[in-house]
Structure 1
């Protein structure tokens, strides 16, 4: 259990400063080294059709180039380590000297608990750890049913370790999208961010609906990449703006979901696994699924509807930890 106090430990302005550091250090780290920065050759012939990316020049460095991915993964990992160190230092700085003399390691365990690195939510019942991780798959009940119809779920005919699972975790794009990206983003934009705002006494509503905006803003830098890849034309600018606005909305909504999971459970595991799962599944494609299986239209509609209803039902019932620091049970006093 973390060291807890009856009143907030830091001013809200301090939490804002830490949040700004987390955000700008994470995004800024991607541009510090030359190998991590994208490179677009000016003067190349714009050979893209409207709404389609152009052909990459051999002298350019694009986002999916292996050397760029490797450099960015290293940069993001270092930035994440700095953010975690900042939280440890903050917890250490607010720990009373009397407590440090009695328990020198107390700030370490307290910081880990505030970062959601704990299994205490289980309290001897594994379901308390497993059920929160199933809330997101419940929302995807419709797409999962469509995948079952396509026979692409694990152990089905069109699924294989080599063709379906291995590319997710053995290619640089897969390692970025499904391993290092989700892990570093959840540590920084969920664990670190919510830890400092909780220490400042921010309300749960603000932590759920305002902190994820930083997660959304952190993706705005993709606009420059899209504009260049799509030909640096007026059409490319429209694609970049629309794509970025959609990404901002989607990442913010997803952030609300993950912030809620983190606060309800007090654990980093549910939002992390949700992040990986959503990256693997992608956005639900109801129209595509209906076109693929017109004879199953009603069942697909029902599956999508059941997913939404199931998500609403399970979101509160499957996520409440017995003694969450961030979301105390009714009747319990808030702790910081």
Structure 2
């Protein structure tokens, strides 16, 4: 009986690291290549007011020319990252076409499978409920207790849907931003690691680092927005550190969802949901509802424990290409 030959993968592990970093650099770099996409900062930023004038100040800041929320800047940045995303997908297609059968149809199908865009999406709703389950505490405290869920007293379709999603800011935060980021930082990055035969634990460990590092550049915005002082530098560094850690952990979660389901949809919906919910703030929620302190703490605990308990069974997807293991992965894609 002839010895079993080890699998031959299309690229080396070093190449996968370099490609993953280049995907992130291309995505972030595109924001600075275009003159219209670069942010402009005032030399003497205004001090944010307090009291009744605060909300009006926020609305005015959002439309300040050259700011991150300026519609013209948003359009330029969305255009830039769209081209960066297409460029990175083209690289993945090129690698696939050089590594599988010569048929262009086969290469296209394999590329779509690698990017989680094939028609074989998860039929179960459970993978999509994983992230909301983790956010059970914030959902209870920030939504239910504030009576802002659909059907409750303070819910407003115009404010919480139209003004949230049907604006340039909403389109960036909840639609096109998450979509392009998931394609690049999940689909493209995990694809090249899979092409190198990386075991699943390495893919879940390495890929989120690229996503976390891609958010470091926000420190430059914070530093400039706060006046380029020594205190601004400290706040920018702390903000960058927290955002990098948070996005890296989030990236690990969505990478796991992608690998388990071989679909872009579960991590994409998780990304949109997390953007809507924001960072959990249990201390602030308890301060707002002191009489519900114990209930809020229990809701957080139940959410976290349930999330861990259901992490494997709820994400089970028979035939997941990415979950076949490095020794069978490439054969599964090329079949």
1:166 aligns to 2:162 (yes or no): yes
Q: How far 1:60 sits from its partner (Å)?
A: 6.0
Aligned residue number for residue 67 of structure 1: 72
Q: Which whole-Å CA distance do the structure 2 matches of 1:73 and 1:120 have between them?
A: 28
Q: Which whole-Å CA distance do the structure 1 matches of 2:118 and 2:138 have between them?
A: 31
Q: Which whole-Å CA distance do the structure 2 matches of 1:85 and 1:160 have between them?
A: 42
Are 2:64 and 2:70, in contact at CA under 8 Å, matched by a contact in 1? no
Q: Which whole-Å CA distance do the structure 1 matches of 2:26 and 2:244 have between them?
A: 19
Q: Which whole-Å CA distance do the structure 1 matches of 2:257 and 2:139 have between them?
A: 21
Superposed, 1:47-196 pairs within 5 Å as 47-48=46-47, 61-97=66-102, 100=103, 104-122=104-122, 126-127=123-124, 130-146=125-141, 147-196=143-192
Over 3 Å counting, the alpha-carbon distance change for 1:12 and 1:95 in structure 2 is same
Aligned residue number for residue 246 of structure 1: 242
Q: Which whole-Å CA distance do the structure 2 matches of 1:45 and 1:10 have between them?
A: 50
Are 2:36 and 2:72, in contact at CA under 8 Å, matched by a contact in 1? yes
Aligned residue number for residue 329 of structure 2: 335
Are 2:194 and 2:329, in contact at CA under 8 Å, matched by a contact in 1? no
Correspondent of 2:206 among 210, 227, 236? 210
Q: How far 1:333 sits from its partner (Å)?
A: 5.8
Q: Which whole-Å CA distance do the structure 2 matches of 1:81 and 1:25 have between them?
A: 11
Give the TM-score, by structure 1 length.
Answer: 0.88
Aligned residue number for residue 281 of structure 2: 285
Q: Which whole-Å CA distance do the structure 2 matches of 1:333 and 1:232 have between them?
A: 51
SS at match of 2:83: helix
Structure 2, unaligned runs of 5 or more: 1-5, 49-56, 331-335
Q: Which whole-Å CA distance do the structure 2 matches of 1:264 and 1:62 have between them?
A: 39
SS at match of 1:158: coil
Are 1:47 and 1:231, in contact at CA under 8 Å, matched by a contact in 2? no
SS at match of 1:105: helix
Q: Which whole-Å CA distance do the structure 2 matches of 1:197 and 1:21 have between them?
A: 13
Aligned residue number for residue 36 of structure 1: 37
C-alpha RMSD of matched pairs (Å): 2.3
Q: Which whole-Å CA distance do the structure 2 matches of 1:301 and 1:14 have between them?
A: 45
Aligned length: 315
Give the TM-score, by structure 2 length.
Answer: 0.88
Decide which moves more: 75-84 or 158-167.
158-167
Over 3 Å counting, the alpha-carbon distance change for 1:162 and 1:59 in structure 2 is closer
Q: Which whole-Å CA distance do the structure 2 matches of 1:121 and 1:234 have between them?
A: 50
Are 1:121 and 1:322, in contact at CA under 8 Å, matched by a contact in 2? no
Q: Which whole-Å CA distance do the structure 1 matches of 2:64 and 2:126 have between them?
A: 49
Q: How far 1:28 sits from its partner (Å)?
A: 0.9
SS at match of 1:231: coil
Structure 1, unaligned runs of 5 or more: none
Cα shift readout 1:31-55 (whole Å, capped 9, x = no counterpart): 11111111235xx346548xxx999
Cα shift readout 1:214-254 (whole Å, capped 9, x = no counterpart): 11111111111111110111111111010011001001010
Q: Which whole-Å CA distance do the structure 2 matches of 1:227 and 1:121 have between them?
A: 42
Q: How far 1:296 sits from its partner (Å)?
A: 1.8
Q: Which whole-Å CA distance do the structure 2 matches of 1:37 and 1:323 have between them?
A: 44
Over 3 Å counting, the alpha-carbon distance change for 1:333 and 1:90 in structure 2 is closer
